């Protein structure tokens, strides 16, 4: 019993696990900032969103918010890695971090997520702040 408890503590505090946890928290902050920014724009056009339940339904199902799904999916992938039984490897984490870096690369001339992300950065200071936090997390020393 003591061995498994020790293994659980080691697993929770490994540098790879901590890196993924930090990136996950950063992505959640970015995701929240983007949802708030999109909600404000949505409400200017279509009227007030009356509840968090309605907002959740819109985020999951309305085409207005569809562009945010790649970010949601990235958080789910990180959760699956953190919750999995397999030991994290440097390669797995490095690949995922490369994908996160590519995902949060805005582009004025791009399409889909990168274009919508660029537009959100232009209109929402909280998105800019969350983006800067993510960039800091992703420029940490190599694994």
Residue 113 CB: number of other CB atoms within 10 A? Answer: 19
CA angle, corner 134, sides to 125 and 63, nearest 5?
65
* Cα distances (Å, whole numbers) of residue 38 to 82, 99, 134: 29, 23, 19
CA angle, corner 12, sides to 81 and 97, nearest 5?
40
Q: Per residue of the chain (143 residues), what is the pLDDT tens digit?
A: 444 444 444 445 589 999 999 999 999 999 999 999 999 999 999 999 999 999 999 999 999 999 999 999 999 999 999 998 888 999 999 999 999 999 999 999 999 999 999 999 999 999 999 999 999 999 865 55
| Residue among 122, 139, 141, 130 at smallest CA distance from 27 | 130
pTM of the model: 0.86
pLDDT at position 141 is: 58
Domain ranges of the chain: 12-138
User: Which pairs from 73-81 meet CB under 8 Å and 24+ separation?
Assistant: 74/27, 74/99, 74/100, 74/103, 75/24, 75/27, 75/28, 75/31, 78/20, 78/23, 78/24, 78/27, 79/24, 81/20
């Amino acid at each position: 019993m003591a061995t498994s408890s020790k293994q659980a503590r080691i697993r929770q505090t490994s540098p790879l696990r901590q890196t993924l946890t930090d990136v996950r928290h950063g992505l959640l902050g970015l995701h929240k900032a983007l949802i708030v920014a999109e909600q404000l724009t949505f409400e200017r056009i279509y009227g007030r969103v009356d509840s968090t339940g309605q907002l959740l339904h819109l985020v999951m199902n309305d085409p207005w918010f569809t562009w945010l799904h790649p970010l949601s999916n990235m958080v789910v992938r990180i959760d699956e890695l953190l919750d999995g039984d397999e030991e994290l490897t440097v390669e797995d984490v490095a690949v995922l971090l490369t994908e996160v870096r590519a995902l949060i690369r805005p582009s004025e001339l791009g399409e889909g997520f990168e274009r919508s992300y660029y537009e959100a950065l232009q209109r929402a200071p909280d998105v800019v702040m969350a983006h800067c936090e993510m960039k800091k997390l992703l420029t940490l020393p190599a694994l």
